[in-house]
């Protein structure tokens, strides 16, 4: 694995760990923040896959746009699109007043993140964990 890919993975895992830690809290779940870190985790994993393939890594938070770049190499990942579309909102929309995620939203975000993350990790030669 390329050093730059490893760095993307390290950063993605930090976001994944933060989301999981926040969700385990009994009070003050911080659902918006959990969703943000789930979105960030997958953004960084998608960028890691682009990096590993030797492709340009664009400066975007749009998970679906990143997915589109990867579909020629990973056509089965088209099934990720609905989950990535839902997580896209956490990149910006939920970081400002007027939008509040619930604990159920946070649980769903982490579930989607965990599932997509597992497949991307496998494609990078990493254990599912």
Q: What is the pLDDT of residue 51?
A: 98
Q: What is the pLDDT of residue 110?
A: 98
Q: What is the pLDDT of residue 26?
A: 82
What is the residue range of 27's domain? Answer: 3-123
DSSP 8-state class, residue 76? G
Give the mean pLDDT of 106-110.
98
Q: For position 39, which CATH number holds?
A: 1.20.120.330
Task: Examine the pLDDT at 41 and tell me if it is beyond 90.
Answer: yes
Give the mean pLDDT of 39-59.
98
Lowest-pLDDT choice from 42-51, 90-99, 104-113: 90-99
Integer CA distances (angstroms), 101 to 2, 14, 25, 93, 95, in order: 36, 21, 16, 10, 10
Is residue 129 assigned to a domain?
no
Task: Examine the pLDDT at 96 and tell me if it is beyond 90.
Answer: no
Contact criterion met (CB below 8 Å) for 67 and 80: yes
Between 63 and 98, where is the model more confident?
Answer: 63
Is residue 79 assigned to a domain?
yes
Give the mean pLDDT of 114-127.
97
- Model confidence, pTM: 0.96
The count of domains in the chain is 1
- C-alpha 59/C-alpha 41 separation (Å) is 15
Contact criterion met (CB below 8 Å) for 44 and 18: no
Q: Residues near 113 by Cβ (< 8 Å), separated by ≥ 6?
A: 16, 19, 38, 39, 41, 42, 87
Task: Examine the pLDDT at 71 and tell me if it is beyond 90.
Answer: yes
Give the mean pLDDT of 8-20.
98
Task: Examine the pLDDT at 56 and tell me if it is beyond 90.
Answer: yes
Is residue 128 assigned to a domain?
no
The per-residue pLDDT of the chain, averaged, comes to 96
Q: What are 129's two structure tokens?
A: 């964990």
- C-alpha 93/C-alpha 5 separation (Å) is 28
């Amino acid at each position: 694995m390329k050093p730059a890919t490893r760095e993307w993975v390290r950063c993605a895992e930090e976001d994944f760990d933060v989301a999981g830690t926040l969700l385990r809290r009994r009070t003050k779940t911080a659902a918006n923040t959990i969703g943000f870190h789930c979105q960030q985790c997958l953004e960084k994993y998608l960028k890691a896959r682009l990096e590993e393939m030797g492709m340009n890594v664009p400066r975007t938070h749009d998970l679906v746009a990143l997915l589109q770049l990867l579909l020629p190499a990973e056509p089965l990942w088209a099934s990720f699109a609905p989950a990535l579309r839902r997580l896209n909102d956490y990149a910006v929309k939920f970081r400002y007043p007027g939008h509040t995620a619930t604990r159920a939203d946070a649980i769903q975000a982490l579930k989607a993140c965990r599932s997509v993350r597992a497949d991307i990790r496998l494609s990078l030669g990493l254990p599912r964990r």
